[in-house]
Structure 1
């Protein structure tokens, strides 16, 4: 593993332990050249996924990009990092075990919205505003009315039946 501080190829594992309820291994590493310390995670990957964008373009699935978008929605919200990591791992597992190597960006967005709705209402609204491309205040009002109503099983609020 390359050192993120000095670029050295020779880093040493100092500690390994299970993470994410056993779904990953957390490794603490140290670089013998610069003494930099950092953490890496090792996860099982069932298959390579390709994301089909709305434009039709295909790009490799990037777990880190998913995590960043969730982190933006949850910024300054009191949600434990471990809970967020479990949510992201759950979404990735659902996508990988769907049976298809291609997944639409809309499907990923639906999974994220469903998960965020159960974690934090404000993050749910933030994510929805980007995912659904809100243009005016009325879009927020409609979503908040939907949020106040109980969820219907198997669908994300606001989607056509």
Structure 2
């Protein structure tokens, strides 16, 4: 594994852990040349369904794109990188479990909102406002009320 800091090819694995879901392995590595440490993740490469956009275009699923959009919603929010990774893994599990060769972007967006709602209510509202193209304040208020109702149901259940 090439060191991301100095580019040296010799690195040593100093720690290995399975993810909570058991579908990836986290490895801490140390570079023999610069002594810096970094983390890598090892996952089985599984073909995920294509994403069908609202205009009918089809694109390959891109983990980095999903993570980027979720990180924008989570900017300056108290959510750990591990929690974000867990949410992305849950979304990818849904994609695999669908068994479909294609998934509508609207369905993917709903799964993202469901995971963001679990992680952080503010991030959920941020994402929903862009995803659902809120036009006025009343739509924000409705989304905020929706998160309050979900929290109430969760506390009662």
Equivalence map 1:18-37=2 (5 Å): 18-37=18-37
Give the match's secondary structure for 2:6: coil
Tell me the residue number matched to 2:107. 107
Query: Residues 139 and 14 (structure 1 numbering): CA distance in 2 closer, same or farther, change over 3 Å?
Result: same
Whether the aligned pair in 2 keeps the contact of 1:51 and 1:61 (CA below 8 Å) is yes
Once residues 118 and 145 of structure 2 are traced to their aligned partners in structure 1, the CA distance between those partners, rounded to angstroms, is 16
1 CA distance for matches of 2:125 and 2:90?
A: 20
1:150 is displaced (CA, Å) by: 4.7
1:95-144 Cα offsets, whole Å, 9 max, x none, are: 11211122222111100111222332211101101111223323212322
User: Contact 1:20–1:85 (CA<8 Å) still a contact in 2?
Assistant: no
8 A Cα contact 2:27 2:41, kept in partner: yes
- Deviates further, 119-128 or 64-73: 64-73
Q: Does structure 2 conserve the Cα–Cα contact (< 8 Å) formed by 1:25 and 1:42?
A: yes
Structure 2: gaps (5+ residues)? 152-157
**Do the aligned partners of 2:48 and 2:95 also contact (CA within 8 Å) in 1?**
no
CA distance in 1: counterparts of 2:50 and 2:71, whole angstroms: 22
Aligned 1:81-160 pairs, distance under 5 A: 81-150=81-150
> Cα distance, 1:12 vs. partner?
3.0
Count the aligned residue pairs: 151
Task: Measure, in 2, the Cα distance between the counterparts of 1:33 and 1:131.
Answer: 45
Which TM-score applies when normalising by structure 1?
Answer: 0.78
Structure 2 partner of 1:6: 6
Conservation of the 8 A alpha-carbon contact between 1:20 and 1:82? no
More helix by share: 2
